[in-house]
Structure 1
Amino acid sequence: MDVCINGDQWRRALRLFPDHDFYHTYDYHVLGTAGDESLPHLFCYQGRQCSIALPLLIRRGHIDGRDFYDATSVYGYPGPLISGSAPSEIDICNFQKEIRQELKALGVISAFSRLHPIRTNADVLKGLGATKEKGGTISIDLNSSPEEQWRRYRSNHKRDIAKLKNRGVTCQLSACGNDLDHFIALYDDTMLRLGATETYRFSSHYFEQLMAARDFDMHLFVCRAEAKVICGGLFSSCNGVIQYHLGATERDYLRLAPTKLLFDTVRLWGLSRGFQTFHLGGGMGSALDDLYHFKRGFSDISHAFSVWEWVADQEIYNELCDLRNKELLQSGRRVADTGFFPRYRTPSSEAEEGGRRIAGR
C-alpha cells in the first residue's frame, strides 16, 4: 500500500480515479487541517484488477496530559475511491489488512469518515468497524432534459423563483473580487445567527485559498437586490459533479428565500456546461429536517448518507473515553450523550448544540 502525504504524490495517485470529487483532493485536505494538529494521508491499494484509495486526516489529540492519534475525514463527502473492476473479496480483504497495518504503524486509536452519497464505495469497508446511515441528501440529474428538471421542482419553488425575478432579484456567477468579501460577511453573520461553533466558522484566508485551489474549481454565485448582495453560495465542480459547499443569506431577506433562485441559476449554469450531477446535500446534521425538505423541493432524487466508524485499539479507546468523561465532569460540564464518535472527543452539551444545528448544511 502506498501512503501519499505530499501534493505531488497525492495528485499522481488521484489520476487513477477519474471519478474523484473535490473532497478527495490534496488542496481540500490541506484546508481541512487549518488550525489543528492533523496531517493529510491518502492510502492507496493496488490490486491486480482494481485500485482502492481512502483519504484521511491523521490528527494528534490530548486528554488529561495524554497524547494520542486518531483518523478522521474532512468536512463534506470524501470516503473510498475505486477504479478498475469491482473489487473482489480478495481485494477487499487485502485492502483492509494493509490499511490496518498502516494505521497501526501510525498509532491510530480509532478512525472515522463521512462517506460520499453518490460514489457509493462503502463495501470495501464492510467488516472493518461499522458503516452507519445518518440521513439523506438530494441531487439533480443534469443529464435529464431541462423540462424534466423543472417539472421535478415543487410548485411553490417555481412560484417563488418567479416572484424573485419579478422583484428584480438577479443571480449570477461572480466575476468581482469584492463579492467574496460580501459573501464572507454574510456567512459570518449566518453562523452567528445560527449559534454555530468555531468548527463552522472560517477565516478570510480559508475562503481565499478555497477559491485559489489548483485541484478543483470553486465558483461563487451571488443574488442581488438593487445592487446589494443578499445571498450567495460556493459551489465546487469536479469530474462532472457540482457540489453545494457553503451558503449564506442576508437576514433581512430570509423570507424571500433567494436560495431558490441561487440553486436554479447554478442548475442552468451546470446544464449549459455539460455537468452530470448537481448535489445539493442534506439537512442539518444530515437529518431529514426542514432543510432537507427544502432541498427535496428541487428534485426527488435522494441518496443515503453514511459514516464509517472503526475502533482500532479497544483498550486504549476505553481508557480515553474514561479520561474524557472525567475531564468534562471535573470542569462542571455535562457529557453530551449524542452517539458522537469517537466518544472520547464528545463535546460538552453546550458546545454540541451549536454544532448540531448547522452540521450537514
Structure 2
Amino acid sequence: MSANSSLLEQLHLLRSADDWSPFLARFSNLDVYYTKEYAELFAVIQNGTPNAIYFENENGKVFYSFIKRGIDGTGELYFDLITPYGYGGPLVEGDPTIIRSFYSLFTEYCLKQNIVSETVTLHPLLKNHEYIKEVMKTDYVRKTTAVDLSLSLDEIRSQYSKNAKRNIRKAVKNEVTISVANSKEEIDQFTNMYYETMDRHKASKFYYFDRSYFHKQLMDTNLSKSVLLLAWSHSEMIAGVLLLIGNQFAHYHLGASRAEFLSLRPNHLLFDAMIEYAKMCHSKFLHLGGGYLDEDELYRFKTSFTNKASFDYYLGKHIINEKKYSELTKPAIKSSEKSYFPAYRMGQND
C-alpha cells in the first residue's frame, strides 16, 4: 500500500463528483459556505477546482472545503489552496485540539500533491481562528458584525440606532415596499442593478460575477437556501439584497441599489426585512460582514442594526512547501508588500 493510499484512508477526500452532504450533515454548526454547490460556483470565479476533506478520530471531526488552484509560470504542476469567497476554514466539532492531528496529515497530503501554500479566510461566527493559530500564522483583518436572532423581533428592532429607525420610517412614508424575487426577469433586473452598483463603487473585476451566477446562487440545496429581497418604489425596482441561509447562520451576501433612489432610504428597509426573514428561517445569527476598514461608514451602517456587536475576521496564512514558496516569491518584492499572501501572487487578480 502506498503512503498516499494510507493518507487517504485517514483523510476522506471529496471532489466535485462526490456527494458532500452526508459528511456535512454530521455537523450541527454547518454553514452555507461549506456546501459543494457554493464551492463549485466560486471555483469557476476563483479559477480552480472545488475539493473538501473530512477527518474523524476519537477527539471529534473536521470538514474543510477549499479551492485548489494551479500556479502559473512554474513550468511544473504546483498548486495552492484558497477558501471559497466568503468565510470558511476548517469546520470542527469536538475537542479543538483535533486540528493538530488533522493538519499533521493534511500537510503531509499537500506536500505529496505539490501544494505550496494555503490561504484561509476564517469564519468570524465560528471563531475557528482561535484554534487554527496552533497550526498556521493568523492575521487580524477587520471587525464584522451580526444580528443576534435569539432575541424577539421587537427586541432586535428596539436596539436599532436612532438613525436606522428614522430612515426605516422615512422609507415607509415614501411608500417603499419589499418583496421576494419570484421570476427570472426580476433576477435579471437585479443583476443589471448590481453591475451599475459595482460601476458606481469602481469595484474590481472579480466582483462582476457572470449573469448565470445569480440564478445558480438562488437555487436551494438540501443543506442551504438563498433568497433575493427587492425594494420597490411603486413599479420601479430600486434596491435588493441576496441572503444566504445555512443551518445556524444567515449571511448578507451582496446588495445593489439605484443611486437616484437612495434618498428614499430603501437599504434601511431592506436590512430590516432581511433580519425579519432570517429570523423566520430560525437562524441564530444574521452575519452582515464588515466594512472596508474598521469603523468606516459601511461598518457603521451595518452596526446600526446589530447593537454594535462585533466579531473578528482573521486570515490564515500557511506556507506548506517552504523551499518552493521561496523560489516562487520574487526576491525584489518591496518590504511594504511583504504582508501580501501568497507573495508570488502579488499583482494577480484572485
Matched residue, 2:342: 342
Aligned partners of 2:17, 2:270: CA distance in 1, in Å?
Answer: 33
Pair 1:276-2:276 in alignment: no
Q: Which residue of 2 aligns with 1:118?
A: 125
Deviation at 1:67, TM superposition (A): 5.0
**Contact 1:139 1:302 survives alignment (8 Å):** yes
TM-fit CA distance, 1:319: 1.8
Q: What is the CA-CA distance between 1:302 and the residue it aligns to?
A: 1.1
2:49 corresponding residue in structure 1: 39
CA contact (8 A) 1:130 1:308 kept: yes
Runs ≥4 residues deviating over 4 A: 64-67
> Are residues 1:202 and 2:209 paired?
yes
Question: Judging changes above 3 Å, is the alpha-carbon distance between structure 1 residues 272 and 35 closer, same or farther for their aligned structure 2 residues?
Answer: closer
- Kindly tell me: are residues 153 and 141 of structure 1, through their superposed partners in 2, closer, same or farther at Cα, counting changes over 3 Å? same
Do residues 146 (structure 1) and 149 (structure 2) align? no
Contact between 1:64 and 1:323, CA under 8 Å: does it hold in 2?
A: no
2:174–2:264: 8 Å Cα contact kept in structure 1? no
* CA deviations over 1:304-349 (Å, ceiling 9, x no partner): 1111111112222122121896xxxxxxxx998373211111127x
How big is each residue's C-alpha offset from its partner over 1:243-278, in whole Å with a ceiling of 9 and x where there is no partner?
100101112123333211101011122223432211
Name the CA distance, whole Å, in 2 between partners of 1:182 and 1:148: 35
Is residue 2:63 matched to residue 1:53?
A: yes
User: Post-superposition shift, 1:141?
Assistant: 1.0
The corresponding residue for 2:172 is: 165
For structure 2, list consecutive stretches of 5 or more residues without a partner in the other structure.
1-10
Moved more, 297-306 or 125-134: 125-134
Partner amino acid, structure 2, of 1:207: F
Q: Within 5 Å, which residues of 2 pair with 1:181-200?
A: 181-200=188-207
In the alignment, what sits opposite 2:95? 86
Measured in 2, the distance between the counterparts of 1:7 and 1:231 equals 37
State the AA in 1 paired with 2:228: L
Tell me: CA distance 1:67–1:2, structure 2 relative to 1, closer, same or farther (3 Å): closer
1: CA distance, partners of 2:269 / 2:46: 36
| TM superposition shift of 1:7 | 4.9
- Map 1:132-143 → 2, pairs under 5 A: 132-143=139-150
Report the secondary structure of 2:187's partner residue: helix
Preserved contact between residue 218 and residue 235 of structure 1 (Cα < 8 Å): yes
CA offsets 1:172-212 (integer angstroms, 9 cap, x no match): 22223321011100111111112222211111111111112
- The one-letter code matched in structure 2 to 1:258 is P
TM-score of the pair, normalised by structure 2: 0.90
Task: Say if 1:201 and 1:45 are closer, same or farther in 2 by CA, change over 3 A.
Answer: same
Deviation at 1:41, TM superposition (A): 1.5
Of residues 65-74 and 237-246 in structure 1, the stretch that sits farther from structure 2 once superposed is 65-74
Match of 1:313 among 318, 321, 324: 321
CA distance in 2, matches of 1:335, 1:269: 47
* Partners of 2:69 and 2:80 within 8 A in 1: yes
CA contact (8 A) 1:224 1:231 kept: yes
Contact (CA 8 Å) 1:96, 1:125: kept in 2 or not? no
Q: Does 1:177 align with 2:187?
A: no
Matches within 5 A, 1:8-19: 8-19=18-29
Q: Check if 1:304 corresponds to 2:312.
A: yes
| Alignment size in residue pairs | 338
**Residues 271 and 102 of structure 1: is their aligned pair in 2 closer, same or farther, counting only changes over 3 Å?**
same
Q: Does the alignment pair 1:236 with 2:244?
A: yes
Structure 1 counterpart SS, 2:218: helix
Is the Cα contact below 8 Å between 2:16 and 2:40 reproduced in 1? Answer: no
C-alpha separation in 2, matches of 1:306 and 1:35: 22
Distance 1:27 1:15, change over 3 A: same
Identity, in percent, stands at 26
Structure 1: tracts of 5 or more residues without a match: 326-333, 356-361
Alignment-mate amino acid for residue 264 of structure 1: D
TM-score by length of 1: 0.87
> Counterpart of 1:60 in structure 2: which amino acid?
G
**Residue-by-residue CA offset, 1:140-196 (whole Å, 9 max, x unaligned):** 111112222112111011001101110111112222332101110011111111222
Contact 1:52 1:95 in 2 (8 A): yes
Three-state SS of the structure 2 residue aligned to 1:62 is coil
Q: Is the 8 A contact 2:66 2:81 kept in 1?
A: yes
Contact 2:176 2:264 in 1 (8 A): no
Find the aligned partners of 2:196 and 2:335 in 1 and give their Cα distance.
29
Q: Which residue does the alignment assign to 1:221?
A: 229
| CA apart distance, 1:240 | 2.8
Q: State the 1:65 CA deviation.
A: 5.2
**C-alpha separation between the residues in 1 aligned to 2:240 and 2:234?**
15
Alignment check: 8 A CA contact 1:55 1:80 kept: yes
Q: Which stretch shows the higher mean deviation, 205-214 or 239-248?
A: 205-214
Label 1:44 to 1:276 Cα distance change in 2 as closer, same or farther (>3 A): same
